[in-house]
Amino acid sequence: MRTNNTHPGRPGVTLIEVLVAIFVMAIGLMALLTLFPLGALNMAQAIKDDRTANSAANAAAIARSLWRSAGTTIPPDALIDRTMLNPGGGLTDRSPTSATRPTDPFFTGPSYPAYVDAFGWMQGNATWQSWIAGTPGAMPRCTTTTHLGALTTFGVGPGRAYAVTAFTYRDDLLFDENALAGTGTSVTREALYSWAYVAQLRSVAARNLADLQVVVYRRRSQDATANASPSGEAIYKGTFTQGTKVVSLSWDPTTQEKPVLRRGGWILDCTVANPANTADLTWQPRAHFYRVVNIIETSATSMELEVQTDMRADSSNVKFPAQIAVLENVVEVFDKGTLTAP
C-alpha cells in the first residue's frame, strides 16, 4: 500500500507578507514623490534664469541702439554724458570743456561710472535721482534724455510708457478671473524683470567707447513717487582687502536698518577711492558688483559676507568710509562689453 505524502500548495500569502510588500511599495512611492517638488523648483529656476538672460540680452541691444542713434554726437545721450563727466557731489568736473580741468593723466583715463536707471530715478527726490541710495559722492545715477523728455508730469504719461518699454522684459501674459489676457485688442503682459545700466567711458578724451554692465532686477517696484526715498537701496560702511573674498559690513542702528541680504544676492562696491594715491583729483567711484555666497552675523551691528569672486580693490585709501551698496531685488549682473558710437 502506497502513502501519498505530498502536501497541497499554499492558497495565499500571510498578512505579514502583505504588510511588508506595502511597506516596500510605500518607500518607492515616497522616493518618486520627492522628485515632483524638486522638479518644480528646478523648472522655476530654469524659467528665472531664462528670463534673466533674455532681459540682459534685450537690455544690451536697446543700449547699443540708443548709443548709436544720435549720429555723430559722442556720447549720443547728453544726460548720461554729463553724469559720467560732471556728476557733482564733490567730484571734480572732468568735462573736456571745463575751465578748471587740469592737465593730468587722470583726465585721459576712464570717466565716472553712471547708473542709468529710469525706475530708480522716478522713485526719488533730487538727491536720490542723482545718487545711489541718496548718497552724494558715491555712484551717480541718471536716466536717459529720451525718458526725461517724455515725462509730462512726474513718472507718468509717455515717460512712464517709455520706461516700461526700454527698461522691462515683457514676458508672460496676465489672465483675469475669466481667463482673459486683456480687453479688446490689448493684452496685459507681466513685467517681473526690469534693468538698469552701468556705463563708463573708456577715456574722457576719446569718448565714443563705453563699458556696459546690465543689472537685472526681479519684482522691483516700478511705481513713480515724487520726492520720496526709494526702498531697496542702502549704503553701509565696509572693510575688505583686495584678493580676498570677505567683506565686513557695519551700521549705526539709530540711523540705519540691518542690511536686507540673502545668499545669492548682490552688493556694489561704490567706494570713492584714490587708486594712484596721488593728488585729490584722482578720487573716483568704483562700480564693482559681487555675488554674496554666505552671511555671518558677527554682532547686532555688523556682519561678514563671503563673496563669489575676489575683491578687486581695498577699503583703504578712500575719500569716505568704504561704501558698499545693498541693492534689493537684483538677480544678476552681466558684463556686456563695450558700447561704440560712430
Q: How far is CA 51 from CA 112, 267, 319, in A?
A: 30, 21, 39
Q: How do residues 43-63 score in pLDDT, each as one tens digit?
A: 888 888 888 999 999 999 988
Strands 193-201 and 168-169: antiparallel
The predicted structure's pLDDT at residue 99: 57
Beta bridge partners of 115: 141, 198
Please list the pLDDT of the chain residue by residue as tens digits (342 residues). Answer: 555 555 566 666 788 888 888 888 888 888 888 877 888 888 888 888 888 999 999 999 988 887 776 555 667 788 888 899 888 887 778 777 665 555 555 566 788 899 999 988 888 788 888 899 888 888 899 998 888 888 877 666 778 888 888 899 887 766 667 766 666 566 667 788 999 999 998 888 777 788 999 999 998 888 777 666 667 888 999 999 999 999 999 998 888 888 889 899 999 998 887 655 555 556 677 899 999 999 999 999 999 999 999 999 888 877 677 789 999 999 999 999 888 876
Q: Which single residue is written with the C-alpha cell 511705481?
A: 223
Q: Which amino acid is at 6?
A: T
In tens, the pLDDT along 268-326 reads: 998 887 655 555 556 677 899 999 999 999 999 999 999 999 999 888 877 677 789 99
Burial class (CB in 10 A: 0-12, 13-18, 19+), 239: middle
Nearest one of 293, 287, 289 to 246, comparing CA atoms: 293
Phi, psi dihedral angles at 336 (to 5 degrees):
-110, 25
Cβ contact 200:295 at 8 Å: no
pLDDT at residue 190 in the model: 75
- Are 209 and 203 within 8 A, CB to CB? yes
pLDDT given at position 106: 53
Grid look-up 531685488 returns 329
**Diameter over CA atoms, the chain:** 132
d(CA 146, CA 66): 9
94 phi and psi angles, rounded to 5 deg: -110, 15
Mark out the alpha helices in 110-196 (DSSP H runs). Answer: 118-122, 126-130, 145-149, 158-167
184-194 pLDDT per residue, tens: 566 667 788 99
292 - beta bridge partners?
307
Confidence at residue 151, expressed as pLDDT on a 0 to 100 scale: 80
Report the 3 state secondary structure along 59-87. Answer: HHHHHHHHHCCCCCCCCCCHHHHHHHHCC
Average pLDDT, the chain: 82
Three-state DSSP class for residue 145: helix
Angle between helices 35-67 and 15-33 (to 10 degrees): 10
Q: Which residues pair with 131 in a beta bridge?
A: 140
User: What are the sequence ranges of the domains in the chain?
Assistant: 32-231+330-340
| CA gap 306, 293 in Å, rounded | 6
Phi, psi of 158 (to 5 degrees): -60, -30
CA–CA distance, 321 with 43 (Å, rounded to integer): 43
Give residue 161's Cα distance to chain centre.
22
